[in-house]
């Protein structure tokens, strides 16, 4: 069966990179959409993205990168935007309705490129206790319905394959798929030293990632600025 084109929202993080790997199994070509929206870690994502896309291309994936800029519409006090201090809580990093805008942009690209699906990498812990309301099943179901209706007569469908997975499950799936986790960037407040970039190991995103790798009994292959105890964990090795 001939593969259809698709769009994947990617941030260079582990979740979206795993989603990209899944989409590449089913679609050709895949348009990777990355958005610059003014967050404090946007520039670090952009540095890692070419490495990730090159890795998949060398593995046989047919990809094209779309960069979009939306920096002026997210004027909201959030730790993700650098407006309030970062804490170990999830709530300060909320940027309300961000994903609605990103999914809408991806849908427009899908329509203009004849793509049948938009893939989005939210997982269950994003939606837990409505930590991020625009990652919940309620929101994504409504968004998917709006997309399907609004893109007639050639409907675009929203796909969110990780939505019922815990972060630990995402790590395990990434490992199974051979996702290049060592190339991904998750940290909100990275540390730079001698031209090297280290994950801080202290922000909410780092804590979630470290705990997920530990739960999966795997060593996270990225570099951290703090010592992480990986006792009892195995190396994350990509086969092939």
Q: Is the pLDDT of residue 219 over 60?
A: yes
Residue 9 near residue 50 (C-beta atoms within 8 A): no
| pLDDT tens profile 170-218 | 999 999 999 999 999 999 889 988 878 899 999 889 999 999 999 999 9
Is residue 185 classed as helix, strand or coil in its secondary structure? coil
Distances in Å between the Cα of 10 and the Cα atoms of 85, 152, 209, 237 are 25, 25, 17, 23
| pLDDT tens profile 72-126 | 666 655 444 444 444 444 445 566 788 999 999 999 999 999 999 999 999 999 8
Cα–Cα distance, 5 to 20 (Å, whole number): 13
- DSSP annotation of 46: H
Helices marked H in the chain: 14-26, 42-58, 98-113, 124-127, 137-150, 167-177, 204-215
Give the global pTM: 0.89
Residue 181 near residue 219 (C-beta atoms within 8 A): no
Q: 4-176 domain in CATH 3.40.50.300?
A: no
Cα–Cα distance, 17 to 8 (Å, whole number): 9
Q: Is the pLDDT of residue 154 over 50?
A: yes
Spell out the domain ranges in the chain: 4-176
Cα–Cα distance, 120 to 110 (Å, whole number): 13
pLDDT band with cut points at 50, 70 and 90 for residue 63:
very high
Lowest mean pLDDT among 139-148, 149-158, 184-193: 184-193
pLDDT for 73 equals: 64
């Amino acid at each position: 069966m001939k593969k259809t084109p698709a769009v994947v929202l990617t941030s260079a993080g582990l979740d979206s990179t795993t989603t990209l790997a899944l989409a590449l199994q089913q679609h050709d070509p895949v348009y990777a959409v990355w958005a610059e929206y003014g967050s404090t870690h946007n520039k670090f994502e952009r540095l890692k993205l070419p490495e990730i896309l090159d890795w998949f291309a060398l593995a046989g994936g047919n990809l094209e990168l779309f960069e979009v800029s939306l920096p002026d519409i997210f004027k909201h006090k959030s730790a993700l935007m650098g407006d309030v201090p970062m804490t170990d809580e999830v709530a300060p990093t909320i940027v309300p309705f961000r994903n609605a805008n990103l999914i809408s942009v991806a849908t427009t690209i899908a329509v203009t490129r004849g793509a049948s699906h938009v893939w989005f990498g939210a997982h269950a812990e994003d939606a837990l206790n409505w930590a991020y309301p625009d990652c919940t099943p309620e929101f994504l179901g409504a968004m998917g319905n709006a997309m399907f209706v609004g893109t007639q007569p050639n409907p675009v469908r929203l796909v969110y394959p990780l939505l019922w997975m815990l972060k630990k499950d995402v790590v395990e799936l990434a490992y199974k798929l051979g996702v290049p986790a060592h190339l991904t960037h998750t940290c909100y407040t990275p540390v730079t030293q001698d031209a090297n970039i280290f994950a801080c190991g202290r922000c909410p995103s780092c804590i979630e990632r470290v705990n997920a790798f530990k739960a999966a009994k795997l060593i996270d292959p990225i570099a951290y600025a703090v010592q992480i105890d990986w006792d009892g964990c195995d190396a994350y090795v990509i086969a092939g």
